[in-house]
Structures are given as C-alpha cells and as structure tokens.
Amino acid sequence: MVVRSQASVFAEGVVNTYLSSAQEALKEQYRNFAAQSVAPVAASLESHAKDLKEVLQEIAQKGYLGINVPREYGGQSLGLLPLVLFVEAVSCFEPGLGLTLSNHAAVIELLKRFGTGSQKSRYLPALARGEGFGTLAFSEENAGVDFSAVASRIEKSGNKITCTGKKTLVVSGDFATLVVVLARLGDKDGDLGLYLSEVQDSKACRVQARRAISGLSSAHINDMEFEDFPIEEGGQLIGASAGQMALYALDVAKTVLAGAAVGLSEAAIASAVDHARKRTQFGVNIGQFQGIQWKLADMEVAATGAKLQTYRAAWSHEGDLSNFARHAAMCKLVATNAARFISSESASVLATCALDSNHPLTRFLRDARALEICLGTAEFQKMLLVSELAI
C-alpha cells in the first residue's frame, strides 16, 4: 500500500478543504471590506433603515458581485470558494446579505452552465456590475420543498410565450431584474421548465410588498404574481431537465448560503468567548467554569466541521460536478444546523446580554432558524442525500 504524505495529498489537490495562501489573502481582503462597509450598517440593514441596494452597489463597485462571473463577461473568474469566503465575511455581521448573494450567484451559475452565448453576453456583465440582480422564483403557496406541485403555467401561442402564476418568498423580488421562474407548460400535467424572465413591477408582473420574515430580514422577500407575463423567445433554459437545473441552482445557492451560516457561527462564538473572558460570577471569569468551557469547545467543533464541509462543497463545484449535489446538501445541513446550535449555545453563555435587542446575537438567533428553512429544509437535504445513495 502506498501511503502518501499529507503534503503530497494537498499538492495533488486530492484533498482540498484548506485554503491556499492566495485564498487566505482574499479572505483577509473580504474581511476588511466587511468590517468597513457592512459592520457599521448591519443592524440598520436588518431594520431597513439602511437601503440594502446601497450596500449591494458598494459590493458591486469592488467587483464582488462578479466573483464567480467569467472574466470575459466582466467578472473575476474566481469560482465558488472565493464567493463562499466573501459571503462568510459579510455574514459575520449580516447573514441576510448572504441569502441575497446566494440567489444572485445561483442565477449566474445557471447562465454559465445552461445559458446560450447570447444570454451570457446579455446578462452576465450586468449581473457582475450590479446593474442587474438575479434571483430564483421556484416556491409557491402549495409548492415548498415539493416542486412537483408547481402550478405556474406557461402558454405558448406562435412565437409568443407567457407565464401566469403566483410565486412566494422570492428573495430580492422587489429589485431583481432577472428572475428564473419554475413553471409548467400548459395544464397541470405539462412539463416543468425553467424560464429566464427580465422583470419589473407591472400589470403583468405584480411584486407584492416586502414580507415580514423573522430572520435574515435585511434580505427583501416578496411574493410575485404573473399574469400573461411575456417570456422572451429562447427564454427557456435547456440542456437538462427542469428538475435537474432547478436542483443545480439550489445546490449553488445552498453552498453559498452555508458560507453565511459559517460566518454567523464564527461571530456567535466570538461573542461567547469575549463574554466568557469578561464576565465574573462567584469571583472568577465564567470562562473558568468547565460547563462554559465545554460549551465553547462543542461550538468550536461544530463550527470547524461546518466550515470544512462548506469549503469541500465549494471545491467540488470545480471540475466534473459529480459530487457537488451530495456535498451541497451536506454543507447546507451541517452548516445551518451548526449555526442554530452555536447561536443558541452562545446565548446561554451571554445569558441576559443575549436578550439585549441591540446585541447582534438576538438577530443571529432568528437568522440561524431561517437559514435552516430557506433553500430547502433540513429534511429535504436528507431526502436528497438518500436519493444520492440510491438505496
């Protein structure tokens, strides 16, 4: 048996869950940006006192909306792992931004993989520059994790294609310019398709008022109603079945969103450690108590596992994608579960301080729960994993 040294394994890229020095440098750059541009406005983003679009413009100006857009279309060609690192950095302060960026990234990856040459040239530069913003409109009132229940309808008459139906919980619904809609051709037995739709609020595409969701509240979440909404000729994405393409888009979004869960977890641990160092009870720092130490140790273990699984998923997006779906499901499951556990344990360490509505942890507790639900619940990730096992 050939036993490879750890160094050679890394050099060959067989195991690549750790960051290269270039990626570490990017991480540092992203953290500096987040500390300067996101930290000061995080609370007001959640309360909507600060306009999310202003922060997105700042992100765009730095080129960070195009991290995963190919250079030929005005992006940085850096791939999913750097994007995860960026989302991790901003989500240490505001995980709702991570949700917003995850849907945008999914639309970019769908275009890269399944878009035609003209769709790529038309949309990718605008998405990279922040002149356009992308999102996914899959869910409906009766179609949550179950896409087979999607009832939005596509009608074709000659060259004219229209969409009619109601979509729920669309992230960035009130400012997205490019929405990928999951809809069914004709009646309830018709084939599902994914349709690229350039949208703006109009009679044919009514965007409802922002929904008040508990958690990830800086994200704008809207319902959308389409009525004979015109889809451009060639707007249907082809190259795989609608189900496969929709799941692929969600795999991308989930991996990026897991980065948000990792950032949230890091920030929650930092709060707990800081408090454990400073707070004195029974004449000693509470960090001296084994009960508190074990909480911190468990939090660190959960956070590290989540981070490794998330980077692993992003890395598996490079190359032939054969393991991507599996890793994406696992990282969504592991990272969001860790975020819920860690924010809850951190709240135990902070005790009354965690109940201070000005403390970021109060937001993180809500955010962690929402992270677990959006882009497919924990149960749904397990269903996907089981289907990959083909038992």
Ligand X SMILES: Cc1cc2nc3c(=O)[nH]c(=O)nc-3n(C[C@H](O)[C@H](O)[C@H](O)COP(=O)(O)OP(=O)(O)OC[C@H]3O[C@@H](n4cnc5c(N)ncnc54)[C@H](O)[C@@H]3O)c2cc1C
Which residues bind to ligand X, rule: CB under 6 A?
103, 135-139, 144-146, 169-171, 213, 216, 221, 370, 373-377, 379-380, 383
Q: Would you say 43 or 368 has its CB closer to ligand X?
A: 368
What's the closest the beta carbon of residue 146 comes to ligand X, in angstroms? 6
Q: Would you say 76 or 218 has its CB closer to ligand X?
A: 218
Q: Would you say 215 or 287 has its CB closer to ligand X?
A: 215
The CA distance from 89 to 166, in Å, is 34
What's the closest the beta carbon of residue 249 comes to ligand X, in angstroms? 10
CA 233 vs. chain centroid, Å, equals 29
Question: Of all residues in this chain, which one has the CB nearest to ligand X in the complex?
Answer: 144
Between strands 134-137 and 178-185, the pairing is parallel
What's the closest the beta carbon of residue 127 comes to ligand X, in angstroms? 16
Q: Would you say 76 or 337 has its CB closer to ligand X?
A: 337
Torsion from C-alpha of 91, 94, 100, 102, nearest 10 degrees: 10
What's the closest the beta carbon of residue 379 comes to ligand X, in angstroms? 3
What's the closest the beta carbon of residue 382 comes to ligand X, in angstroms? 8
Q: Would you say 11 or 386 has its CB closer to ligand X?
A: 386
What's the closest the beta carbon of residue 145 comes to ligand X, in angstroms? 4
Q: Would you say 69 or 179 has its CB closer to ligand X?
A: 179
